[in-house]
Amino acid sequence: MASSSVFLHRPGNSRLAFASRTNQTVGKDRVSFLNMGTRRLPVVLSMTATADSGEEAGKSVFPGSGISIMVNGCSGKMGKAVIKAADAAGVNILPTSFGSAAEAGQKVEVCGKEITVHGPTEREKVLSSVFEKHPELIVVDYTIPSAVNDNAELYSKVGVPFVMGTTGGDRNKLYETVEDAKIYAVISPQMGKQVVAFLAAMEIMAEQFPGAFSGYSLEVMESHQASKLDASGTAKAVISCFQELGVSYDMDQIQLIRDPKQQVEMVGVPEEHVSGHAFHLYHLTSPDETVSFEFQHNVCGRSIYAEGTIDAVLFLAKKIRLKAGQRIYNMIDVLREGNMR
């Protein structure tokens, strides 16, 4: 277990990246995951309803029957992890994906499947054709932040439901685009089911026991692969709960560890996971330093996020087949369904 002695200080952005557009107050940095009517977590999916309806249609979705997915960003590590999870769940993986102009024409092989990557100029024509041939298509998006809004507009224009795991972009615009198009989607910046459940538990504690840790000091360390330059949105969400519990803490106090040597030798990250991990430690100390609490969650690799994404796909497929009234969902909705693999 890492200790506070390994903390590094690096200024970060005090604005929350994890909150939905409807509940982000900069003053207190408060994030909420519980009010389903006003908060949504980012994930992207696309798919249409079939002639089936009712309870039987919903049951036929699990564990992947009749569902086809198109994973955009398949050349990335998350995209490949999602394809592997989809293959294990029996979901049909289409040999088509979108990427950058530089990636156009490339062939990506995952799980023995060769996937052709199409560039920006071909997207609408290709997506319309694929959707016509596969009416139960679900698009999974793990691309880049700058592509979030353009991709959502494309999915909405074609009418394809989607699961959006990509973070960033203009989140207000993202929700408005999907709402106006009236398509189905799961949108969440955190796809790890157990991590989302932990965040929800923190939210409940903060709401029911405000001020319980008044006067306590807080140290936060988070370690991610060197390519992640900003502070974790998950860490910011947990910190916002501690603030409600009475702890005084500024987001720019988060200790970011990005040096591979320190990650292995001081934090305890397995060397094989230096390029893909999320280690978080929250240490609380009482005013007189006689009491301390630690909350820690460590993730190696990307399987937790990939499996959560596929659960979101199966969840959304069921909602579409049942012609549910609600169109936009988050990972709390998926957790509450209770049918995770």
Question: Per the domain annotation, does 55 fall within a domain?
Answer: no
Position 28: which residue type? Answer: K
With 80 as the cut, is the pLDDT of residue 46 above it? Answer: no
147 and 221 assigned to the same domain: no
Residue 311 is given by DSSP the state: H
Confidence of residue 341 (pLDDT cuts 50, 70, 90): low
With 70 as the cut, is the pLDDT of residue 59 above it? Answer: no
Confidence of residue 167 (pLDDT cuts 50, 70, 90): confident
Residue closest to 151 by CA, chosen among 101, 213, 140, 253: 140
133 and 173 assigned to the same domain: yes
Token code pair at residue 255: 């200790």
Question: Per the domain annotation, does 20 fall within a domain?
Answer: no
175 and 205 assigned to the same domain: no
Token code pair at residue 323: 């012609």
Separation between Cα atoms, residue 147 and residue 121, nearest integer Å:
14
What is the H or E stretch that residue 233 is in? helix 233-244
89 and 127 assigned to the same domain: yes
Domain count, the chain: 2
Question: Per the domain annotation, does 123 fall within a domain?
Answer: yes
Angle at 302 between CA 126 and CA 235, to 5 degrees: 110
Q: Where are the beta strands (DSSP E) in the chain?
A: 68-72, 92-93, 96-98, 107-110, 113-118, 137-141, 162-164, 185-187, 217-224, 255-257, 277-285, 292-300, 328-329
pLDDT of residue 230: 82
Residue 72 is given by DSSP the state: E
User: What are the pLDDT digits (tens) for 244-292?
Assistant: 999 999 999 999 999 999 999 999 999 999 999 999 999 999 999 999 9
Q: Which of 199-208, 227-236, 301-310 has the lowest mean pLDDT?
A: 227-236
Is-above-0.95 flag for pTM?
A: no
Please answer whether residues 31 and 197 qualify as being in contact, where contact means their C-beta atoms are separated by less than 8 angstroms: no
Residue 192 is given by DSSP the state: -
Confidence of residue 156 (pLDDT cuts 50, 70, 90): very high
Question: Per the domain annotation, does 155 fall within a domain?
Answer: yes
310 and 188 assigned to the same domain: yes
83 and 175 assigned to the same domain: yes
pLDDT of residue 91: 95
List 59, 77, 173, 228, catalytic entry: 228
Domain hosting 121: range is 68-192+303-337
Separation between Cα atoms, residue 87 and residue 265, nearest integer Å:
36
- For residue 322, what is the domain's CATH number? 3.40.50.720
Residue closest to 148 by CA, chosen among 176, 182, 110, 109: 176
Question: Per the domain annotation, does 50 fall within a domain?
Answer: no
Mean pLDDT of 44-48: 32
Token code pair at residue 47: 């798919």
Residues 6+ apart with CB under 8 A from 248: none
- For residue 269, what is the domain's CATH number? 3.30.360.10
Question: Per the domain annotation, does 32 fall within a domain?
Answer: no
263 and 205 assigned to the same domain: yes
List 118, 193, 224, 236, catalytic entry: 224
259 and 202 assigned to the same domain: yes
With 60 as the cut, is the pLDDT of residue 120 above it? Answer: yes
188 and 142 assigned to the same domain: yes
Does residue 277 have an active-site annotation?
A: no
112 and 169 assigned to the same domain: yes
177 and 270 assigned to the same domain: no
Separation between Cα atoms, residue 58 and residue 314, nearest integer Å:
10
Token code pair at residue 77: 């590590």
How many Cα neighbours within 13 Å face the side chain of 130? 28
Does residue 9 have an active-site annotation?
A: no
Confidence of residue 5 (pLDDT cuts 50, 70, 90): very low
Separation between Cα atoms, residue 105 and residue 191, nearest integer Å:
29
pLDDT of residue 231: 87
- Which carries the bigger pLDDT value, residue 18 or residue 226? 226
- From the number of C-beta atoms within 10 Å of its C-beta (0-12, 13-18, 19+), residue 337 rates as middle
